[in-house]
Structure formats: structure tokens, C-alpha cells
Amino acid sequence: MNQKIIVLDFGSQYTQVIARRIRECGVYSEILPYNTKASKIKGDDLCGVILSGGPASVLSPKSPRPDPKVFEMGVPVLGICYGLQLMGKMLGGEVVSSKQREYGHGKLSFKSSDSLLLKGIKSPMTVWNSHGDRLVKLPKGFKAIATTENSEYALIENKERKFFGMQFHPEVAHTIGGIEIIKNFLFGICGCKGDWNMSDYVERAIAKIRETVGDKKVILGLSGGVDSSVAAALIHKAIGNQLTCVFVDNGLLRKNERKSVEDLFKRNFKMRFITAKAAPLFLKKLKGVTDPERKRKIIGKTFVEVFDKTVKSIGQVDFLAQGTLYPDVIESVSIDGNPASLIKSHHNVGGLPKRMKLKLLEPLRELFKDEVRALGKELGLAHDVLWRHPFPGPGLGVRVVGEITKKRLDVLREADAILIEEMKSSGYYGKVWQSFAVFLPVKTVGVMGDERTYDNVIALRIVESLDAMTADWAHIPHELLAKISNRIINEVKGVNRVCLDISSKPPSTIEWE
């Protein structure tokens, strides 16, 4: 039995990043709803509890609170941002609303040098803040061990009870030395051994799939991307021919996508495989739709309808398998069902009918992209499958900004194919997280062959990231960008301008819609 750290989720967009950082350290982490009873958390394998951040204010009477008995379990507890304020208020301290919201970089200065949490870390350190409330009175038994410009109690501890709270986010890359703080909590305070690995996860996941599915049948939407491919391999290893993979041609695919996916899985897999040709249906339902959320919901709903129709051709099926990942889940949670604020719905987790005929099977729901790739390697998947750039479930439907038409899709397909070809031939495809083209519903004046043109704009989005929760634009050589731009303008009819997206996440998202 692996040791574990429980992360109680209060709705922070960084909750999954906390879990990912813990696993990076070789410690199994599990995220549970904020109101999970302490009796369900306790166990011989529990080493510690982390209270995540969140968008709510502890001053609100409706703010999310944990079971008070969480503080009576006898294990270390770490509160991050909202978690600090929550711990402070629930244990007898005082929290007030700040006159000025503290967001972005800050300087953390140490007041104490003997805290296990700060072992091996030099003061001052750069941290990332994101909060509107602050602690102004400490609970009994606590002391301040570090401050920031706007917070006297930016880092607090109760050494006897092994309770800690920090106003900043140690889990994000913007906090320099944050991973060292997390390691100090895991190993120096919680006593974790760091013996969790992907092999353990494979065994546990296979056992869970078998237990969930039993002797029932499963279908999976296979796109050929990393997520669905790994999900297919994992499920197939667990239940064999009980799985049927269905590839849906929704008309929103990249150039030659259907043929390449069919060829790939005939060559690399021995699974039941069906192609559902449904492009006209998707394009008909998307006609005239411009709102990105409506697009996603229409694509998701139509996707399930196509699956329902496919089910009839293969007999009784009980489960629909999807390659849903942690980032998909956290970015899709609405304020009604979770304290997190809605960013956008995802194809895998949004737009599904309330009375879907199939039960959902999501074996990758707890993993980040890099972990999925590690899982795929453990399962023996080929390198070209595992290192394909992420492609959204709604496909080019969310890369054509505005109304989706076949003409716009064809223009985007050609531009995107040139971008990917040049990224691969230059060796930069494997150096970045994601690269793709976006069709903008904007026309600009140009001159081609001494004649005036009034054509479309293509934006290039090329980013570096570890887990898709944060990302920065990739600094690609100007010569390569120039070559890509020249080829797109010269070879793709209907385009006379190419732009480069140089925004980071946050505040922007990787995809445009």
C-alpha cells in the first residue's frame, strides 16, 4: 500500500498542479472534494493533508469549509492561500479583506531560520500570490515564519501540531524554490518515502477498470492523439476484446487525419476498430454558430449521438470510454457544482446529455499529460504516438474563431499542415508542448503580384509547458517563423497575413476558444 497525501479541493485552478508536483516527488496524491468527511480520509497510508486555494472568501457565510475533524486526525496539514485563511479562521485566528488584492510576484522574507518547511532555502525568495483576503491575527500555537510586502503572516506554522499555512502558491513555476518547500513538507514533515511510480498506477488502474466494467462492453472514441491512445491501450490491457474503438470523422480533423489514424492503429494495435463518417452531420449542426461554448456543447452532444448510432451496429455496449485528463476536469467545473470558477467546458466533460445511454469510463482522469505519456511508455506505446502534440476533442472547431464553414476549415487545414511540417523538419516539434494554427474571422489588405488582396489572417500558437496548467510562448528562431509565414501566405489560397501569439497562460489559455 502506497503512502498518500490528500489534497482537499476548494476550487483553485492550481489544485491539480499541487497534486502533480507531489507525484513528481514520487509520492502518491489524491484529490478529494473539500467537504469529504475526515473518517473517509483517515487511514494507515495517510501521511498528510493539503488544503488547496480557491476563489471564495472565508468571510462569506457560504464559503466552502472542510470537516473540522480534519484538524484532529494527527497528521500534518498544509494550507495554501485560501487554505491558509481557512485554517487561520477555523482555528481561532482573524481574517480580513485586503484593501489591495495581491496578485503576481512577491518577495518572501524569512523571520525564522529553524522551520523544517524552509530547510535549505535562502531568504528572500520570489513567490506567486493570488488572493484578496489576508490573515491579521494568528490562531493559538502558531507563529509567523515569513512575510511579504503586504502580509505579515505570509507563512505560518504550529510546530507542535505540524500545521502550516502559506499565503502564496508554492506549486506554480513562478514561485522560485516552491518545489523545495513541497519536498520539505512531504519528506521532512510528513515522513513520506517517495516510492510511488507509474508501474504502481498501471496495476491499480487495471484492477479498477476490471472492477468497474466486469463483463460489460466498452466503446472508446479513438482520435489517434496521446490521451485516447493511452486510454485505449490501458483499457485493452485490462479487458481485451470487450473494448471497441470508434474513430469519428467529424469534419473538424487536420489534413489527412483519418487516413493516418486508421493506418496507425492497423499497424500498432490489435483492437476492434470502426470508423464513423459523420462530417456532414457535425457541419450541419454547427452552421451559423459562433459562440465557443455553444460550439463545444454541440460537438460534444453530436459526438455522443454518433456513438449511440454506432452502438446499434455492434450490439450491446454499456460504457463510453474517454481520455479525460485532470486539466480538462478542473477547467470545466462550474460554480454550481464546485467552488472553482468556470473557464471553459471541454469536449470530454462538457456538452453531454443528462440522460446519456452509456456510462462514462475515464481511466486517465487523475493524470496530467506528462504522466499520461509516462503511462503510455509503461504500456509499450510507440514514441510517435506518445509525443504527438495535444489536439482538442472539438478539433479545428475551436481553432476556427467564429462561424465554422468547410471553406474556413480547408484554409486552416492547409496552414496547420505547413506549420507542423516545418516544426518537424526543423527539429522544434519535439522541443515545444504544442504548435498549431488558428483561423481568425478577420480580413486584411495585402499586395500579392502587384495586385490588392483582401484575405484572411492565420495566427500561430506555439507554446512551452509541462502540464498545460501553465504555459509560455516558445521563442522560435525568426528564420523558422519567417519560413512558415512565407509558405502559408504563398501556398494557402485565401491567406495574406500570419500573426504570432505571444501570450502566456495565465492569463490567456493555450487554445483560443
- Does the annotation place 223 within a ligand binding site? yes
Judge whether 273 and 266 are in contact, CB under 8 Å.
Answer: yes
The Cα 49–Cα 186 span in angstroms is 10
Which cell is 175 given? 514561485
Location of C-alpha cell 515564519: 145
Judge whether 152 and 104 are in contact, CB under 8 Å.
Answer: no
- Does the annotation place 225 within a ligand binding site? yes
Catalytic annotation, pick one of 169, 174, 346, 347: 169
- Does the annotation place 74 within a ligand binding site? no
Would you call 421 a catalytic residue per the annotation?
Answer: no
- Does the annotation place 465 within a ligand binding site? no
Q: In the 8-state DSSP scheme, what is residue 17?
A: H
Which cell is 340 given? 472553482
Find the helix or strand (DSSP H, E) in which 243 lies. strand 243-249
The Cα 108–Cα 113 span in angstroms is 13
- Does the annotation place 227 within a ligand binding site? yes
The dihedral through the CA atoms of 458, 463, 468, 471 has a sign that is negative
The Cα 400–Cα 412 span in angstroms is 8
Among 474, 451, 387, 400, which Cα is nearest to 251's?
A: 400
The Cα 513–Cα 316 span in angstroms is 36
The Cα 510–Cα 465 span in angstroms is 10
Mutual orientation of helices 198-213 and 369-378 as an angle, nearest 10°?
90
The Cα 425–Cα 418 span in angstroms is 11
Q: DSSP letters along 344-379, please?
A: ---TTTSS--TT-SSEEE-TTTT--HHHHHHHHHHT
- Does the annotation place 194 within a ligand binding site? no
The Cα 505–Cα 511 span in angstroms is 10
Which cell is 205 given? 488502474
Would you call 171 a catalytic residue per the annotation?
Answer: yes
Would you call 169 a catalytic residue per the annotation?
Answer: yes
User: Partners of 220 in the beta sheet?
Assistant: 245, 321
Rg of the chain, C-alpha, whole Å:
25
Catalytic annotation, pick one of 81, 190, 192, 245: 81
Judge whether 144 and 153 are in contact, CB under 8 Å.
Answer: yes
- Reduce the secondary structure of 292-323 to three states and give it as a string: HHHHHHHHHHHHHHHHHHHHHHHCCCCEEECC
Catalytic annotation, pick one of 47, 102, 131, 171: 171
- Does the annotation place 229 within a ligand binding site? yes
* Residues tagged in the binding site annotation: 223-229
Query: Hey, which residues are catalytic here?
Result: 81, 169, 171
* Residues tagged in the binding site annotation for ATP: 223-229
